[in-house]
Amino acid sequence: MNGQAQLGDFLRTRRSQLRPADVGVPTYGERRRVPGLRREELALLAGVSASYYTRLEQGQSQGASPDVLDAIARALRLDESERLHLHDLAQADRHRPRNRRPAPERVTEATRQLLEVMDDVPAIVLGRRSDVLAWNRLGHALFAGHLDPDAPQSPGGRPNMARLVFLDPHTRELYADWPSKAKAVVGSLRLVAGQHPEDSALHALVGELGSKSAEFATMWADHRVKACTVAAYEMRHPLVGTLTVVQQTLSRGTDPVVVVATTETTSPSRTALALLAQATGPSTTARPAPHEPLSAGPSRRPGSQVLAD
């Protein structure tokens, strides 16, 4: 799908999600075939002609000015991330390289050193397609302890967090509010797809997830975008039970990015994370017996199971 087609799809979807009452458009009690705004109503709110806006939605108008795009973004009530995404889609065809393979993503030595010194904080390095390029010991234990710890070292077999969230039962169980995490993953992929329209590997990933997960297909069609910089999640870890972590992206806007998980000081979640570090530490000699969960006080979930390394 070219940039103009993606732009039109985004505009149609977001217009259909905006009800007249949301923006003060009177309907005078008339029966409407669709609940969202009509094209001419959106065009009036944006201060452009209905014919021009129609051509824009139909992919027949190129070169929309930044001012026009900002006016449409205001009319659609887009937030800042969504506004920037709209601009990316409008410019996609102008900057699309031809016959260009995506450059391989690598972890710099500085980033590896950062992972090493953050020994007591779960951290993972993600590429723009959410491939796991590296993780520290605790990052592996928290997010994917059921996988081979050396998996990120194999370019052909790297774990992918989007695949794990939608297709891996362990990761799905890991998040108490799985739909919230899933929507964040899709929203982030939407942003990246707008920024890198030439990335064939990203398109292949989206196609794979859409064919294997009806939930992903539905969320992708919703055209919601989200910059996942900071978010709190309750996690149900099979080794230490329930804990709440704040997942933060340390370096947004560059590829790759470092994502860390922190916990509140003196909280049961901090205790659970410390227990996880102790259980998975290289100096640990006594490991819990299978099916014998560690105790983390109030944070332990009954019935938690121990993962095999």
Domain that holds residue 244: 109-299
Closest to 308 (Cα-Cα) out of 139, 172, 145: 145
Mention every residue, 6+ apart, whose C-beta is less than 8 A from residue 275: 240, 294, 295, 296
Query: Are 64 and 119 in the same domain?
Result: no
Distances (CA, A) of 89 to 96, 213, 258, 275: 11, 25, 26, 46
Query: Are 83 and 124 in the same domain?
Result: no
Residue 102 belongs to a domain: no
Closest to 57 (Cα-Cα) out of 34, 40, 70: 40
pLDDT at 302 over 70: no
Model pLDDT for residues 53-112, shown as the tens digit of each residue:
999 988 777 778 899 999 999 999 999 989 999 998 888 766 555 545 667 788 989 899
Query: Are 249 and 113 in the same domain?
Result: yes
Residue 198 belongs to a domain: yes
pLDDT at 309 over 50: no
How far, rounded to the nearest angstrom, does the alpha carbon of residue 187 sit from its chain's CA centroid?
5
Q: What is the CATH number of the domain that holds 50?
A: 1.10.260.40
Model pLDDT for residues 207-249, shown as the tens digit of each residue:
999 999 999 999 999 888 887 789 999 999 999 999 999 999 9
Number of domains the chain contains: 2
Residue 266 belongs to a domain: yes
Interatomic CA distance for residues 32 and 145, integer angstroms? 52
Residue 135 belongs to a domain: yes
Query: Are 65 and 199 in the same domain?
Result: no
**Cβ-count burial 133-151 (b if 16+ within 10 Å, e if not):** bbbbbbbbbbbbbbbebee
pLDDT at 195 over 90: no
Angle, helices 178-195/214-221, rounded to nearest 10 degrees: 60
User: For the residues 149-153, what does the mean pLDDT come to?
Assistant: 93
Interatomic CA distance for residues 174 and 169, integer angstroms? 9
Sign of CA dihedral 117, 118, 123, 125: negative
- For the chain, the C-alpha Rg in angstroms (whole number) is 23
